[in-house]
Amino acid sequence: MEFFEKQFYHNSLGDWGIALLIIIGVIIATKLVIWFIKNVLKKLSAKTKTRLDDLLVEMLEEPIIYIFALGGIWFALKRLVFPPDITDYIDKGFWFVVILATTWFIARLLIALIDEYLAPAVEKSESDLDDQLLPIARKVIKYTIWILGILMALNNVGFNVGAILAGLGIGGLALAMAAKDTVANIFGGVTIFTDKPFVLGDRIKVNGYDGVVQEVGIRSTRIKTLSGTMLTVPNMKFTDGIIENVTMEPSRKVTLNLGLTYDTPEDKIQLAIDILKDIIGKTDGTEEKALVSFNAFGDFSLGILFIYYITKGADILQVQTNVNMQILKRFNENKLEFAFPTQSILATVNKE
């Protein structure tokens, strides 16, 4: 027994051994708590009609495990004798982590409640503004909770939070000057919400990129390009650039330049014009207005300009296919030949 009575750093080896056994016991107990939550609490909450208890159990699972484990370690260390400054560090460190774990739980729970109850209601609403504001509100709530939690934790361990906030206020001006692009992006986001040059789901073209708006954030906007890649555009680009909202176009203009061979008589040219007008009148997804003109004597063809409009909401590619198939079919039926580049070469042969 003398071995256990030997002193090591202000405590006997026996006290160190008991502390170690407590920590091992806490680790085992933590495993049991995890098993209890997964196999008992979750099953019980799943049997209820409401989803609230499921969310509470799921969001509480990880933070409570950390608090339970740290609490056991803290209890084991409190049995030992340390110098006052080390004891003070242990106490403050424990409560610092507990406050952060509590903050983690509150942030997780509020975000889960928003996703479970508020997000479905927003999706069902007719307005697109709330769809854009919800992701921003989630981030603001999350960051606000964490900032308050960290300030409370720092205040609890002895930091002068008032001095920290005052320092942040003075440094805020310098930070704003250094982060002017970030500020510009934030104001760009405000401009998007107020002017509404586009909303979620709109197809837009900006700075040479073409895609569908997926998310509008405080600093940037995410656009899924037609090739499937995700593009992140700083919001300031929308305030000093030109935005083309393809979704808001009333109709899609399609321009075709058709060329007929030079041996086509004038009655056949008129027939071609009449056929093009008739195709537009009989094709679904096109507007009645169409422009057809015999407009050019080209290098190797007689040019016919054909402009028509596809109605909003129609399948643009399919309508174009239908129109082009009808042009090909009816021109062939009426022996209207399309021209292709040709050259006539005159050669002089000297006979001796």
Return the pLDDT at 63: 74
Return the pLDDT at 5: 59
DSSP assignment letter at 208: T
Return the pLDDT at 332: 93
- pLDDT averaged over consecutive 10-residue blocks of the chain (352 residues)? 58 70 78 76 72 70 74 73 73 79 82 76 64 73 85 77 63 56 72 79 87 85 90 84 85 91 92 93 89 90 93 89 94 91 71 60
Residues of the chain with CATH 2.30.30.60: 195-245
Q: 8: exposed, middle or buried (C-beta count within 10 Å: 0-12, 13-18, 19+)? A: exposed
Residues of the chain with CATH 3.30.70.100: 251-333
C-alpha 149/C-alpha 142 separation (Å) is 11
| b/e map 210-228, b = 16+ CB within 10 Å | ebbbebbbebbbbbeeeee
Q: 177: exposed, middle or buried (C-beta count within 10 Å: 0-12, 13-18, 19+)? A: exposed
Global pTM? 0.45
Return the pLDDT at 9: 60
Number of H helices, E strands in the chain: 12, 10
Class for the domain spanning 251-333: alpha beta
| The dihedral formed by the CA atoms of 228, 233, 239 and 245, expressed in degrees to the nearest 10 | 10
Return the pLDDT at 248: 85
Nearest to 76 by CA among 33, 31, 25, 28: 25
Fold of 195-245: SH3 type barrels. (2.30.30)
Q: 245: exposed, middle or buried (C-beta count within 10 Å: 0-12, 13-18, 19+)? A: middle
